[in-house]
């Protein structure tokens, strides 16, 4: 990998860690400052280390873009796992946000064949515009599965 690619990977890893710990993206600049201090203390050839660390893109907007990239990658991975699974379990929950927009939360549980373990993930959060009757929710789910090319016939729909 080139130095630029390594810096890009470091940026993604830092954004992932910040998101995992629910820290604001502006904390990425603090992380960079910590790296610079650690580099100065740990390495003899400080100039190269410091310059490489300075090249790691960690602005709040970069961290936001990184998080979108990571979320999309995670979503594609979940979709692939669902396509490879023999069956999966769905659970749905209707909720309202602060703007009183009804939403349908879809959770999925499936067997990850590579890790040989069951995984639970949030699959989608769908807005329910207009009515929130059962038939409206089922239509939203069917439209979502159709649009994302997921096989609804593999799903067992139940309550957790």
- Print burial letters for 116-127: b (CB count within 10 Å at least 16), e (below 16): eeeeebebbebe
Residue where a domain terminates, one of 53, 75, 97: 75
Of the residues 51, 75, 99, which one is the last residue of a structural domain? Answer: 75
Residue 139 lies in a domain: yes
**119 assigned to some structural domain:** yes
Give residue 100's region: left, alpha or beta (phi > 0; psi -120 to 50). left
Q: Identify whether residues 135 and 70 lie together within a single domain.
A: no
What is the model's pTM? 0.66
Residue 10: closest CA among 47, 54, 74, 45: 54
Final residue in a domain of this structure, among 46, 75, 104: 75
Give the pLDDT of the chain (160 residues) as one tens digit per residue. Answer: 788 888 888 888 888 888 888 888 888 888 888 888 888 787 777 777 778 888 888 888 888 888 889 889 988 988 888 888 888 898 888 877 666 778 888 899 998 878 888 989 889 888 887 777 888 888 888 898 889 888 888 887 655 4
Domains held by the chain: number:
2
Q: Which residues form the domain of 120?
A: 85-158
Alpha carbons within 13 angstroms on the beta-carbon side of residue 112 total: 10
Q: Is residue 80 part of a domain?
A: no
CB-CB neighbours of 101 under 10 Å: 11
């Amino acid at each position: 990998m080139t130095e630029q690619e390594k810096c890009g990977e470091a940026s993604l890893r830092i954004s992932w860690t910040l998101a995992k710990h629910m820290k604001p993206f502006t904390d990425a600049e603090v992380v960079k400052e910590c790296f610079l201090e650690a580099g100065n203390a740990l390495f003899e050839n400080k100039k190269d280390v410091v310059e490489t660390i300075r090249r790691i893109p960690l602005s709040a907007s970069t961290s936001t873009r990184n998080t979108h990239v990571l979320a999309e990658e995670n979503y594609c991975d979940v979709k692939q796992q669902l396509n490879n699974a023999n069956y999966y379990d769905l659970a749905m929950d209707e909720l309202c946000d602060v703007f009183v927009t009804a939403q349908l939360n879809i959770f999925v549980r499936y067997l990850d064949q590579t890790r040989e373990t069951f995984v639970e993930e949030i699959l989608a959060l769908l807005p329910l515009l207009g009515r929130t009757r059962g038939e409206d929710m089922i239509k939203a789910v069917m439209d979502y599965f159709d649009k994302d090319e997921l096989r609804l016939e593999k799903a067992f729909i139940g309550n957790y």
